[in-house]
Amino acid sequence: MKKNKESFDDPITTEVVRGLLDAAAEEVQQVLYKVSHSPLITDGRDSTSALFDAQGRTIAQATAVPCHLGCLQDLGRIFASHFNHQANEGDVYIHNDPYNGGTHLPDLAIVSPVFFKSKLIGYVATMSHHADIGGFAPGSVNFAAKDLYAEGLILSMATIVKNGKVNEPLFDTILANSRVPDTLKGDLGGQIAACLTGVKRYKEIISKIGLKKVQKCVESLLDYSERMTRNEIKKIPNGEYYFEDFLDDDSLEETAKPVKICVTLKVKGSNLEFDFDGTDNQVDIAINNVPSCPNSVVYYAVRTLTGDKVPNNEGSFRPITIKLPKGSIVNSTFPAPVAVRGITLKRVEDVICGVMAKALPERMTAAHSGQYTMVNFVGFDINGKRIQGHMGGPYAGGHGARSNKDGIDVTEHGATNGSPIPIEVSESKLPILFKKSLLWTDSGGAGKWRGGLGYTAEVEWMGGDCYGSFRRDRMKFKPWGIEGGHDAPLCKTQIISKKQKYSLPGKIDTPLKKGDIIKIHTTGSGGFGNPEKRDPELVLDDYMNKKISSSAAKNIYKVMIKNNQIDYKITNLLRA
């Protein structure tokens, strides 16, 4: 790479500017968490924020949701291209169009321009997932949507605040399309407040350091991120690597077929190319992805190579080329439905990590759980009041085992990096009762390093008639292990009513009545290395903590445990 002529040779000032920009982005993020209304943001933390320069380049991003990395990067340039010649101080813009840089309709981007001495110097952006943005299904996230129009209100480069004055007709129209207008109003207000906080901090940085000096520091930081990323890429052996994995279903029918997602990684010097050629075509149900989704997962995976020593800006992505076949499930064409994009995004993450593990097994993990357990309730409480909301509680399985340590149990990991809505919050807002929530024994893939465990939960519906919308995967294809590690088990969902007990497929809307119990098993993650090489003392610890069964200890890890102690004589014979 060539050094940018505009970069700065003062490393101390450059590092100070980096700290100031990062602090500003983090403060914007904290405002989102503190003043929003929906538990999806305040507890689930499904939001993110970033600072752009006047070109729309990402110069700082909060440590939040990695799968928003790519979309914010794309949106920065789109906003700069659209608004640079018409922006005014005090403006705020709103956008959610998936086919113009967005992700899916519930993810609303709110962006404010930043002026210094009447000159446009950049933008502050936030993106949050909203509880309902209209469409045919409550929650605006349902597999059955046939096209984008059915998924909710489409907002493309609209001005919601002009010269400091709220565009009331537009604001009212947005709220009128939501089933939870009060929540939406509070969350939009939170995003606007966060952006205005960022604008204030951005201006303070320029006032303190000086515009030209900050701009030179930004160039240096972008170049530094690129340089550090290229240094890590050079450690990967040149060549081509291939990996594939599958989604369970391409439709909601009993005849549904799996969906293949595959990628070829080409490594040449300090450059990476991720080519998704061979991935299956887009499907009729709403699990399609637009480019911002797979792009962001690729960016996240490459960022794991450099860690937090590299600034959170887009310089890290300069060495990367991504090829997405048009009309495929990772690059769908308008107006294909995309509401449940996260299901596919999770599998994209698995194939990206899988292909990088082929090249760098010691740096990457085995497969994570590869799905999230989302259950949305729409119906009535016991008094006949209409209600809508997510089940909450744990929803992610295990983190994949690593080359030198076990995976992490029941954690929202990787590209999505969210937080579970606490059980107590869910029970206070919905007529549900968590009767059980605990680690699922033997749900982590066996290995020298065991995969993180998943969980099992039992939740009783205590309201009136209701529909539960289930969004799940990994019920047909297991999270894989690497380097001889074992796969994790499949997910399961059951309904236990007063009259019967029956299993559910991964993607379904099903009626619920008072007293019905939802029983969920969410898988863990893949193991790393031969389980017979695992330290017997670690096997005993797992058994004592009910993470593995005595059967798994003996038959898979080849460790005999008697009276809560290791029988080394038999263990040595088993491992001989």
pLDDT of the residue at 112: 97
Nearest to 17 by CA among 217, 222, 201: 217
> Do residues 120 and 111 make contact, with C-beta atoms less than 8 angstroms apart?
no
pLDDT of the residue at 90: 96
Give the DSSP letter of residue 495. E
Residues 46 and 107: their CA atoms lie apart, in Å, by 9
The residues pairing with 438 across neighbouring beta strands, listed in sequence order, are 456
> Do residues 391 and 433 make contact, with C-beta atoms less than 8 angstroms apart?
no
Neighbours of 99 (CB within 10 A): 17
Give Cα 324 to chain centroid, integer Å: 19
> Do residues 315 and 226 make contact, with C-beta atoms less than 8 angstroms apart?
yes
pLDDT of the residue at 280: 98
The count of C-alpha atoms lying within 13 angstroms of the C-alpha of 533, restricted to the half-sphere facing its C-beta, is 14
pLDDT by 10-residue block (mean), the chain, 576 residues = 63 96 97 93 90 96 77 87 94 97 95 96 96 93 94 97 97 97 97 98 98 96 96 96 97 92 98 98 97 93 88 94 98 97 95 95 94 91 89 91 96 79 91 96 98 97 94 96 97 95 94 96 97 98 97 97 96 95
pLDDT of the residue at 14: 96
pLDDT of the residue at 557: 98
Q: Which two tokens stand for residue 108?
A: 């609303």
H-assigned helices in 404-535: 423-429
Q: Which two tokens stand for residue 328?
A: 């495929």
Residues 178 and 159: their CA atoms lie apart, in Å, by 19
Q: Which two tokens stand for residue 295?
A: 């792009």
pLDDT of the residue at 309: 84
Nearest to 399 by CA among 453, 463, 337: 453
